[in-house]
Amino acid sequence: MSSGFVKTADGTEIFFKDWGPKDAQTIHFHHGWPLSSDDWDAQLLFFLSKGYRVVAHDRRGHGRSSQVDTGNTIDRYAADASAVVEHLDLRNVVHIGHSTGGGEVARYVARYGQPQGRVAKAVLVAAIPPLMLKTPANPEGTPIEVFDGFRAALAANRSQFYLDVASGPFYGFNRPGAKVSQGIIQNWWRQGMMGGAFAQYEGIKAFSETDQTEDLKAITVPTLVLQGDDDQVVPYKDAAILQAKLVKNSTLKIYPGFPHGMLTTHADVINPDLLAFVKG
């Protein structure tokens, strides 16, 4: 089956894609907020062309998965990812997560993938762990007022908010001299508007307030940590730098000038680096 749904323990239907030779090395992709597995198009096609099996799913409340009003937490996101892996009986998998998907990967690997012996390697790309929110213990984090602003903008006019995010900070299109792509902006907006407003609203709390320090400490498989130093969404000093320190078996690469959405804007650079890590 090249695509389908898996029903989780609480009845949520999670959409997934499963492309390529079923006996090939599997790479499982976990998307960011508020997008869908379509955000991985540039990577899915690239790895397919190299002979890999690629799997990607839509997070609950996002894309083609159920627009549920419950379970919009990192815990449940990881459990849903595990449901896909177990449904397809995937083993020796490389899990790659972007942004919120990176948090999903960290908790999945720590709680399910490693204990079940199903994960081979992990990649965190511009990922949210260990904690985005500014707290007394995390003084370099992002103030709660920023995330409250996200919630207010989503509730007031989700469509305009998503256009503004894609047109500005996500891809660095607000930087002087940036090469702006209307197609990329419209595709981001399309993916966002496919999902459920409530699940995406709840997702802001999940990606900003979940402390994943212990998840990172628990990861023992080889892990590649990637981020651009011009990431305007997830500050790299509070993300990739700390991830590389907390994950025992990690390799860190920082890309000068690259934005949060570098997997799309700089796929020609990122994809070969991902391939080298998968093959290494």
pLDDT digits (tens, 9 = 90+) for 117-149: 999 999 999 999 999 999 999 999 999 999 999
Mean pLDDT, to the nearest integer, of 42-66?
98
Query: Per-residue pLDDT averaged across 33-43, rounded?
Result: 98
Cα–Cα distance for residue pair 140/57, rounded to 1 Å: 32
**Residue 18 is a catalytic residue:** no
Q: Which residues pair with 15 in a beta bridge?
A: 5
Residue 225 has a pLDDT of: 99
Residue that the structure tokens 């890590």 belong to? 277
Residue 7: how many other CB atoms lie within 10 Å: 12
Separation between Cα atoms, residue 256 and residue 132, nearest integer Å: 21
Does the pLDDT of residue 1 top 70, yes or no? no
Listed in order, strand segments (DSSP E) in 31-118 are: 53-57, 93-98
For residue 66, what pLDDT band results from cuts at 50, 70 and 90? very high
Q: What percentage of the chain has pLDDT greater than the value 70?
A: 100
Has this prediction a pTM greater than 0.95? yes
List 31, 57, 62, 260, catalytic entry: 260
Q: Which of 167, 231, 238, 250 is catalytic?
A: 231
Number of H helices, E strands in the chain: 11, 8
- Is residue 69 flagged as an active site residue? no
Q: Span 182-211, mean pLDDT? A: 98
Beta strand pairing call for 53-57 and 26-30:
parallel
Q: pLDDT value at position 53?
A: 98
**268 an active-site residue?**
no
CB atoms near residue 6 (< 10 Å): 18
Q: Of the residues 99, 167, 208, 250, which is catalytic?
A: 99
| Cβ–Cβ < 8 Å for 71, 10 | yes
Confidence at residue 75, expressed as pLDDT on a 0 to 100 scale? 98
- What is the average pLDDT score of the chain? 98
